Structure 1
Amino acid sequence: MRNRIRYLTAACRYGWKAHGMGESDPAARVTAPQVENARHQYLTRAQMLAVCRQCTNRTARLAIRIAFYSGMRLGEILRAEVSGQAWVLRDTKNGNPRIVPMHPRAAVCARAFEPCPKITIQRAWERARDRADMHGFHFHDLRHSAATEMANAGVDLFTLGRVLGHKDQRSTQRYAHHYIDTLAAAVGKIGQKNPHHLQKKAA
């Protein structure tokens, strides 16, 4: 329903802008229902490697590693341009260009990767996933895996959102529960004396 409403509003807005149909945007007050479709499944590095070992398609195997170590979507991996030690995405889901730094473990994969049809990688992923007894995982969950790995390592939400290319910070908030230890440490600093201040006072 949400998608249909968006298609209709986009068509109406195009008619208004491009062909002067109407005096104002007919879709300005149309709202689409919110859908809670966020997935919280992610693979550990060991699980990702287990799927790779079961994958017989070399290109798909490289794509799996790149997705895990970059957080890029499959479509982004297929059209990303390698520039030095980073991937350049000139066209992204949110419409803004993005630079994704290259993890050392993904650099070798990037040099060997040759784009192929998206469906080829998806089918190879599904076969390898099932052989590894990880039914239910989607290729896109590798993106969540990258985000979770960064969150668990203490990367702040702002930086995490920049790496993933989130335009809306609400998209990044789904990973906030991984920061409980960091947040607890921050709260624990309340009321503590500042060592730097004490050094200046002693001097």
Structure 2
Amino acid sequence: MTRFFPGAQAPETWSASMRRTKKIDLVGVDIASLPLPSTGEKLIYDSEALGLALRLRASGSRTWIVFESGKGKTRRRTLGDVFSLPVQSARVFCTVPLSTPQKDNPDLYFETASVAEVMAGYLAFGENRRWKPSTGRVMEGAARLHILPSLGARQVRAITRSEVMKWHQELTRTTSAARMALSTLSGMMLYAEDHGLRKGGSNPCRGLRKKTRGERGGHLTPATMRRLWKAIEGHAELYPDPCDVIRLLLLTGARKSEILTLEWDRVEDGRAVLEDSKSGPRTVWLCAPAVAILDRRRSLCGGRFVFPGMNDDAPRSSVDFAWKKIRKAAGVATLRLHDLRHHFAAVGVSNGLDLKVVGALLGHHDIDSTLVYAHMQTSAIKRSANRVSGLIDDALSDPGARSPTRHRPSRARSQQCVRSLGVSITEVGNG
């Protein structure tokens, strides 16, 4: 999709009436006083940014729109409400071409560049180099709606930590998108450092909590797991495909979308090598029970997808209906499918697996995503500390004397504990 920018020619697909429309400098216009059309909508085009227009509707809305061309067609995209997005920021969003020079061009920005100007370049950079289209849309929305109205006119180099903290606190009280807005602003500040607009390591967003780290990821109790597995088995005949999906989610810790869209060509040697996922290419490791499920399915159905939809050329889109039945039968009405992924991680962390290993198994892009389980590592560390101190105590004690105060479990009990621990570790280690 091509955005129009100053000096570009209007595409041939624009109508004659659009080309003949008189354009005005919208910076000097009192937008609130402009009369609304009696019916439908009216467009007023900006004279400075080709493709940018003010849309007035009879309903009372006043929004910025930008015309874009691609694949021989022209479409218009809404940028945002005019009272939330200043006209200068709207111009930047529609005037920066996607071919914006990157880090190797140190003269891309002036030292006095505003947040709006740098944000547009940052989003163009990510669209070209890093993000999925859906991620880019979310980040662009966060910038337009929550960053530019408050900080867009400020110089990037002048933004302070206290200013960001105040902005984020106010935003947190009004919208659930505050975390994404903070993450977007933080990424833009790093981008600004790369372009010499700020000193290295001066990101004012650094250290602010981008994610609420509550007590997420707790174990499902053994009793809950037994009820859940029994409910899955009880519904397997009626909902065979959804039950297999749920089994694989529980055994692998994969995301629902990764299992639903899994292709047979991606399954090999006890693993599923995904070309694309939420965090990019990654490997889902398959334990023996998961491999058995896939082997059984391979013998029953062909086609491209492990879980085909109504049309064999597309994957299954949902298992929500069957999941509601299963969790109701198991007595866990509030349990989410994604909680199975949390349980998978919790088993690993609470049994001593390093957070980096758990993050790799889950396909986390960075360690911050795995740190939500850090509170669970305390019990594993405590057990390890007790074991180490016990070994030291044994070494210091008189070999012929036995401490009357320390209980030594029987060999059978120790073996039972090891087997129990081994099952837990195997669930994650092979998953």
TM-score normalised over the length of structure 2:
0.37
Change (3 A) 1:89 1:105: same
- Kept in 1, the 8 Å contact 2:252–2:344? The answer is yes
| Alignment equivalent of 2:98, drawn from 6, 14, 18 | 18
Q: 8 Å contact 2:349–2:380 — kept in the other structure?
A: no
| Pairing partner for 1:86 from 267, 271, 288 | 271
Question: Cα distance, 1:110 vs. partner?
Answer: 1.9
> Once the 2 structures are TM-superposed, how far is the Cα of residue 187 of structure 1 from its aligned partner?
5.0
Identify the structure with the greater strand proportion: 2
Letter in 1 for 2:232: C
Distance 2:118 2:335 in 1: 41
- List, as ranges, runs of 4+ consecutive aligned residues in structure 1 with deviation greater than 4 Å: 12-15, 27-32, 185-190
Q: Report the equivalent of 1:200.
A: none
Q: Give the partner amino acid of 1:70.
A: T
2:328 is the alignment partner of 1:144? no
Cross-structure match for 2:255: 73
What is the one-letter code of the residue matched to 1:177? H
The sequence identity of aligned pairs, in percent, is 25
Output the amino acid matched with 1:43. L
Of 370, 377, 381, the residue aligned with 1:179 is: 377
Between the aligned partners of 1:168 and 1:14, the Cα distance in structure 2 is: 32
Say what the alpha-carbon RMSD is for the aligned residues: 3.5
- Which residue type is aligned with residue 253 of structure 2? G
Corresponding residue number in structure 1 for 2:360: 162
What is the CA deviation profile of residues 138-188 of structure 1, one whole-angstrom value per residue up to 9, with x for unaligned ones? 111111111112223322111000000111212111222222233225556
2:60 is matched with none
User: What is the one-letter code of the residue matched to 2:228?
Assistant: M
- Flag structure 1 segments of 5+ consecutive residues without an equivalent: 196-203
Conservation of the 8 A alpha-carbon contact between 1:41 and 1:137: no
Structure 2 counterpart SS, 1:88: strand
SS of aligned partner of 1:50: helix
Distance 2:351 2:322 in 1: 30
Q: Which stretch of structure 1 is more off in the superposition, 48-57 or 60-69? A: 48-57
| Structure 1 residues 26 and 172: CA distance shift in structure 2, 3 A | closer
| Matched-pair contact (CA < 8 Å) for 1:48–1:64 | no
Using CA pairs below 8 Å that are at least 6 residues apart, which structure has the higher relative contact order? 1
Cα distance in 2 for residues equivalent to 1:176 and 1:75: 25
* Alignment counterpart, residue 290 of structure 2, candidates 101, 106, 115: 106
List gaps (5 residues or longer) in structure 2. Answer: 1-78, 101-107, 110-116, 124-142, 148-176, 180-210, 298-305, 310-315, 396-431
The structure with the largest alpha-carbon Rg is 2
State the distance in 2 between where 1:182 and 1:37 align.
19
Evaluate the alpha carbon distance shift between residue 153 and residue 13 of structure 1 in structure 2; reply closer, same or farther with a 3 A threshold: farther
Judged with a 3 Å threshold, the aligned counterparts in structure 2 of structure 1 residues 14 and 62 are, in CA distance, closer, same or farther, namely farther
Give the match for residue 52 of structure 1.
232
The TM-score with structure 1 as length reference comes to 0.73
The question of whether the paired residues in 1 share the 8 Å contact of 2:213 and 2:372 is answered with no
For the residue of structure 2 that corresponds to 1:72, the secondary structure is: coil
Deviates more, 1:148-157 or 1:129-138: 148-157
Task: Measure, in 1, the Cα distance between the counterparts of 2:346 and 2:282.
Answer: 20
Query: In the superposition, relative to structure 1, how do residues 181 and 118 fare at CA in structure 2: closer, same or farther (>3 Å)?
Result: same
Q: Choose which of 227, 245, 248 in structure 2 pairs with 1:63.
A: 245
Residue aligning to 1:33? 178
State the Cα distance separating 1:19 from its structure 2 match.
6.4
SS in structure 1 at match of 2:283: strand
Contact 2:345 2:358 in 1 (8 A): yes
